[in-house]
């Protein structure tokens, strides 16, 4: 059964499927690494801790990018009321991106990182070796080419079709994503400068332009599942992105506290970070408000659950757990501790993993020719996945927060002579790491439950 | 059909049109609804929160470094601050009158009042730039001390809000000219509310930074 309004939307399907495959990989490597925190020798020969960490974080970034691209290919034709400019280009770019991604991950796993750098001629234009941006230069160039082709395809589609606020916000976010990635090619030898510009990619992605992408996807799904007037939803979208950009861009200051930058960054960073939770809180109010004012009962209850869930978890993870350690006097102690890890986990899951799951949940039944929604049994299984993963992530965050508070207490607060060293402190945190690992296993069970929902069919009455 | 003739034709009572309009305005004023759009008020609330944190930060820093703050404040130009206070309050008055005119469907008058308000707002911009120039000339900048760090951050952030407010008023002025507020003036009220916020912030900012 063909349930797509525009046939070219179908190109989103491989992007979503590949995103979910990478998501599973990310969680498996997360579990390996989580165990290595407490059993240091576990698979240490085959997958050293630094490699597991690199694969865990890189898979996260790449699967989210696949998710965003899939979302854009699905949403833009419908919003523009026209077919995608070139479905063929979208599929070619999919294979290029997938092949480059797989080759890079295999490179991480099969050869030492320095050998990979040598093979890929890193010395000609050194960009490797920085957290999240470990990809060889050639892969980075590939990412830029894929992004350019992707933006060209979307841009041409939008130009020939209807212009909506959702498309504009989405495109602004995606163009910003590509532009800020260019700072990955700038790698100053001065460590302070290196970090300074590194944040231009990392921070301005997750606390800047990605929020626009999230806002646009959320607005799109809310229009579809609630039937509320586009004007009302778009108005809130504008307010939210205005707040997100003002607070997010100036909030970059919270990364500049200890980089030998002028003192005013401590004021700018502290104050604007303090309002970073507000756009996320607005998203909670807006998502629940729109669902309460719904004009239709959409059969895809799971997609609505993801939409509401992402707003709440993004507020908690990105908003509240972010604010927990962004005031300069607090960050003086907590900088780079497990509190950061706690925030990172819940924020990435709540804001970005869940928004991608939201659009996948909404779009997949249509892409698979099932119709508006999966059958009830499949939705129930999917919701089990939602709750298991979300509750597990709350516990992962709480355990890491406990570890972080103890770490700060033992390692950072005492005067220099009395403070424990980094590794001695890590030993004291073992109980928290074990509990985090257990919560991680529950997360994996949730993910398996979610993935398995794709194969669940309605029982035929005997 | 004009508003007046509409009112005349539908009025069962034989009272005059001006009286009816007066009743309409009083009704609107008596009705305690939130002027403008809720989304704009959420935005205003967010803006006020940022400034509130700035003001609290300033007050705490002042308590911690009171001597430095007294000496530094003396270097500011209070007359310039006073001129700006008067400029912003007056500008806000004209916006209030402009909203009143749009309530009465006097679009042209409303736009004229809005333009006057913008011209007065320009006084603020000129004086503020002059003030920054004056400080730079005597060797003061954002890194001079904690007082001036906060002075420049808070006042420049406010300056940017004045500019944003002027852009918003420009847009609603153009919309008004196109006749966009014949039925629903919510958009006009939203812009005016934002402008009132900008001058209200200055009314707190001026005594806090320049005077007390």
pLDDT in single tens digits along all 462 residues of chain A: 678 999 999 999 999 999 999 999 999 999 999 999 999 999 988 999 999 999 999 999 999 999 999 999 999 999 999 999 999 999 999 999 999 999 999 999 999 999 999 999 999 999 999 999 999 999 999 999 999 999 999 999 999 999 999 999 999 999 999 999 999 999 999 999 999 999 999 999 999 999 999 999 999 999 999 999 998 899 889 989 999 999 999 999 999 999 999 999 999 999 999 999 999 999 999 999 999 999 999 999 999 999 999 999 999 999 999 999 999 999 999 999 999 999 999 999 999 999 999 999 999 999 999 999 999 999 999 999 999 999 999 999 999 999 999 999 999 999 878 899 999 999 999 999 999 999 999 999 999 999 999 999 887 665
Of B42, B57, B143, the CB nearest to A282: B42
Reply yes or no on whether the pLDDT at B11 is more than 50. Answer: no
Question: Quick one: CA torsion of A381, A387, A393, A398, rounded to 10 degrees?
Answer: -150
Phi and psi of A175, rounded to 5°?
Answer: -65, -45
Q: What is the pLDDT of residue A25?
A: 97
Rounded to a whole number of angstroms, the distance from the CA of A271 to the nearest CA of chain B is 7
Q: B-chain residues within 8 Å CB-CB of A236?
A: 39
Whether residues B146 and A272 touch (CB distance < 8 A) is answered with no
Residue A191 lies in a domain: no
Question: In what helix (H) or strand (E) does residue B170 lie, and over which residues does it extend?
Answer: helix B146-177
- Return d(Cα A198, Cα A178) in angstroms, integer: 14
Same-domain status, A230 and A137: no
Q: Give Dmax over CA atoms of chain A in angstroms.
A: 75
Residue A176 lies in a domain: no
Residue A306 lies in a domain: yes
Same-domain status, A151 and A230: no
Quick one: tokens of B27? 């009704």
Same-domain status, A86 and A228: no
Q: What is the CA radius of gyration of chain B?
A: 21
pLDDT-based confidence at residue B27 (cuts at 50, 70, 90): low
Rounded to a whole number of angstroms, the distance from the CA of B20 to the nearest CA of chain A is 33
Whether residues A239 and B43 touch (CB distance < 8 A) is answered with yes
Of B43, B50, B150, the CB nearest to A242: B43
- Best of A250, A271, A283 to mutate (most B CBs within 10 Å, chain B): A271
Same-domain status, A264 and A409: yes
Q: A-chain residues within 8 Å CB-CB of B40?
A: 239
**Which one of A142, A163, A184 terminates a domain?**
A163
Q: What is the pLDDT of residue B38?
A: 82
- Return d(Cα A167, Cα B181) in angstroms, integer: 27
Closest CA to B51 of B161, B203, B154, B151: B154
Of B37, B42, B153, the CB nearest to A267: B153
Cβ-Cβ contacts under 8 Å for A9 (sequence gap 6 or more): A73, A74, A77, A78, A84, A363, A366, A367
Quick one: tokens of A271? 């104050």
- Return d(Cα B103, Cα B21) in angstroms, integer: 9
Q: Which residue has the tokens 């700060």?
A: A408
Q: Which domains does chain B have, with CATH numbers?
A: 1-32 (no CATH), 35-211 (1.20.120.80)
- Return d(Cα A267, Cα A269) in angstroms, integer: 6
Domain count, chain A: 2
| Torsion sign over Cα A310, A316, A319, A322 | negative
- Return d(Cα A104, Cα B166) in angstroms, integer: 50
What is the extent of the structural domain holding A297? 220-453
Same-domain status, A245 and A336: yes
Cβ-Cβ contacts under 8 Å for A106 (sequence gap 6 or more): none
pLDDT in tens, A197-247: 999 999 999 999 999 999 999 999 999 999 999 988 998 899 899 999 999
- Best of B59, B62, B149, B151 to mutate (most A CBs within 10 Å, chain A): B149
pLDDT-based confidence at residue B20 (cuts at 50, 70, 90): low
Quick one: tokens of A12? 């989103």
- Best of B40, B42, B167 to mutate (most A CBs within 10 Å, chain A): B42
Whether residues B43 and A264 touch (CB distance < 8 A) is answered with no
Residue A458 lies in a domain: no
**Which one of A140, A163, A186 terminates a domain?**
A163
Same-domain status, A245 and A151: no
Same-domain status, A435 and A357: yes
Quick one: tokens of A30? 């997360």
Cβ-Cβ contacts under 8 Å for A177 (sequence gap 6 or more): A68, A147, A205, A209, A210, A213
Same-domain status, A156 and A238: no
Q: B-chain residues within 8 Å CB-CB of A282?
A: 42, 46
- Return d(Cα A341, Cα A324) in angstroms, integer: 12
CA distances from A24 to A17, A21, A102, A344, A438 (A): 11, 5, 14, 18, 17
- Return d(Cα A49, Cα A43) in angstroms, integer: 9
Mean pLDDT score of chain A: 95
Whether residues A243 and B153 touch (CB distance < 8 A) is answered with no
Contact between residue A357 and residue A305 where contact means Cβ atoms under 8 Å apart: no
Same-domain status, A94 and A240: no
**Which one of A121, A140, A163 terminates a domain?**
A163
Whether residues A263 and B146 touch (CB distance < 8 A) is answered with yes
Same-domain status, A157 and A231: no
Rounded to a whole number of angstroms, the distance from the CA of A190 to the nearest CA of chain B is 23
Whether residues A236 and B39 touch (CB distance < 8 A) is answered with yes
Same-domain status, A424 and A277: yes
Closest CA to A392 of A348, A436, A431, A433: A436
Burial class (CB in 10 A: 0-12, 13-18, 19+), B13: exposed
Residue A402 lies in a domain: yes
DSSP-assigned letters across all residues of A119-185? HTTGGGS---SSTT--S-HHHHHHHHHHHHHHHHHHHHHHHHS---HHHHHHHHHHHHHHHHHGGGG
Orientation of helix B146-177 relative to helix B186-205, angle to 10° = 160
Q: What is the pLDDT of residue A133?
A: 93
Whether residues B150 and A267 touch (CB distance < 8 A) is answered with yes
**Beta carbon pairs, A and B, within 8 Å:** 46
Quick one: tokens of A83? 């077919």
Reply yes or no on whether the pLDDT at B68 is more than 80. Answer: yes
Whether residues A264 and B57 touch (CB distance < 8 A) is answered with no
- Best of B37, B38, B41, B43 to mutate (most A CBs within 10 Å, chain A): B43
Reply yes or no on whether the pLDDT at B3 is more than 80. Answer: no
Residue A206 lies in a domain: no
Residue A193 lies in a domain: no
Of B43, B46, B57, the CB nearest to A267: B57
Residue A423 lies in a domain: yes
Q: What is the CA radius of gyration of chain A?
A: 22
Q: Does A275 touch chain B (CB under 8 A)?
A: yes
- Return d(Cα B84, Cα B92) in angstroms, integer: 12
CA distances from A192 to A123, A126, A161, A202 (A): 21, 17, 46, 15
- Return d(Cα B1, Cα A443) in angstroms, integer: 65
pTM of the model: 0.89
Closest CA to B153 of A200, A327, A271, A247: A271
Check which CATH number belongs to the domain holding A449 and give it.
1.20.210.10
Orientation of helix B38-64 relative to helix A277-292, angle to 10° = 160
DSSP-assigned letters across all residues of A217-258? HHHHHHHHHH---HHHHHHHHHHHHHHHHHHHHHHGGGGSTT
Same-domain status, A158 and A226: no
């Amino acid at each position: 059964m063909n349930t797509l309004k525009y046939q070219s939307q179908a190109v989103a399907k491989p992007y979503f499927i590949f995103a979910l495959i990478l998501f599973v990989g990310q969680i498996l490597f997360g579990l390996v690494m989580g165990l290595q925190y407490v059993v240091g020798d576990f698979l240490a020969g085959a997958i050293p801790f630094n490699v597991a960490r690199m694969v865990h974080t890189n898979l996260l970034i790449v699967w989210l990018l696949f998710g965003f691209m899939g979302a854009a290919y699905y949403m833009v034709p419908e919003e523009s009321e026209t077919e995608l400019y070139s479905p063929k280009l979208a599929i070619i770019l999919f294979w290029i991106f997938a092949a480059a991604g797989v080759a890079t991950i295999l490179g991480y796993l099969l050869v030492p990182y320095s050998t990979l750098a040598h093979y890929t001629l890193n010395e000609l234009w050194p960009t490797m070796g920085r957290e999240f941006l470990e990809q060889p230069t050639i892969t980075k160039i590939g990412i830029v080419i894929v992004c350019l082709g992707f933006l060209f395809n979307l841009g041409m589609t939008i130009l020939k079709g209807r212009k909506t606020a959702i498309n504009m916000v989405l495109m602004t976010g995606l163009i910003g994503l590509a532009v800020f990635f260019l700072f990955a090619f700038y790698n100053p030898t001065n460590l302070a400068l290196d970090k300074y510009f590194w944040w231009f990619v990392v921070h301005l992605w997750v606390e800047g332009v990605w929020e626009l992408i999230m806002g646009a996807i959320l607005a799109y799904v809310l229009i579809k599942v609630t039937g509320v007037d586009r004007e009302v939803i778009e108005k809130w979208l504008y307010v939210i992105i205005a707040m997100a950009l003002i607070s997010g861009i100036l909030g970059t200051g919270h990364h500049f506290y200890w980089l030998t930058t002028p003192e005013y960054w401590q004021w700018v960073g502290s104050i604007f970070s303090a309002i970073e939770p507000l756009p996320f809180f607005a998203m909670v109010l807006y998502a629940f408000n729109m669902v309460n004012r719904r004009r239709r009962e959409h059969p895809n209850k799971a997609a609505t659950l993801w939409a509401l869930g992402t707003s709440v978890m993004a507020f908690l993870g990105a908003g509240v757990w972010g604010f927990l350690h962004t005031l300069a006097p607090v960050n003086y102690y907590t900088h780079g501790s497990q509190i950061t890890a706690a925030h990172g986990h819940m924020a990435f899951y709540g804001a970005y993993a869940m928004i991608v799951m939201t659009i996948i949940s909404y779009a997949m039944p249509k892409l698979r020719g099932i119709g508006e929604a999966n059958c009830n049994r499949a939705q129930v299984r999917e919701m089990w996945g939602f709750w298991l993963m979300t509750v597990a992530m709350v516990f992962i965050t709480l355990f890491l927060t406990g570890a972080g508070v103890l770490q700060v207490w033992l390692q950072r607060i005492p005067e220099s002579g009395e403070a424990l060293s980094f590794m001695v402190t890590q030993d004291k945190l073992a109980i928290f790491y074990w509990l985090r690992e257990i919560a991680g296993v529950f997360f994996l069970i949730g993910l398996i439950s979610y993935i398995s929902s794709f194969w669940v069919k309605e029982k035929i009455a005997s | 059909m004009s508003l007046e003739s509409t009112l005349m034709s539908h009025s069962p009572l034989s009272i005059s049109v001006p009286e009816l309009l007066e009743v309409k305005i009083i009704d609107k004023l008596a009705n305690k609804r939130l002027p403008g759009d809720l989304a704009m008020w959420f935005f205003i609330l967010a803006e006020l929160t940022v400034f509130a944190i700035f003001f609290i930060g300033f007050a705490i820093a002042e308590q911690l470094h009171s001597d430095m703050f007294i000496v530094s404040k003396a270097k500011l130009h209070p007359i310039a601050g006073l001129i700006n206070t008067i400029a912003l309050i007056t500008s806000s008055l004209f916006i209030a009158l402009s909203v009143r005119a749009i309530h009465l469907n006097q679009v042209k008058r409303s736009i004229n009042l809005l333009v006057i308000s913008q011209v007065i707002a320009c006084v603020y911009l000129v004086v503020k730039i002059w003030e920054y120039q004056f400080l730079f000339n005597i060797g003061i900048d954002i890194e001079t001390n904690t007082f001036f760090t906060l002075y420049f951050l808070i006042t420049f952030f406010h300056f940017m809000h004045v500019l944003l407010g002027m852009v918003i008023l420009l847009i609603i002025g153009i919309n008004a000219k196109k006749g966009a507020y014949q039925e629903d003036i919510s958009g006009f009220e939203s812009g005016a509310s934002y402008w009132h916020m900008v001058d209200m912030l200055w009314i707190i900012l001026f005594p806090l930074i320049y005077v007390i």
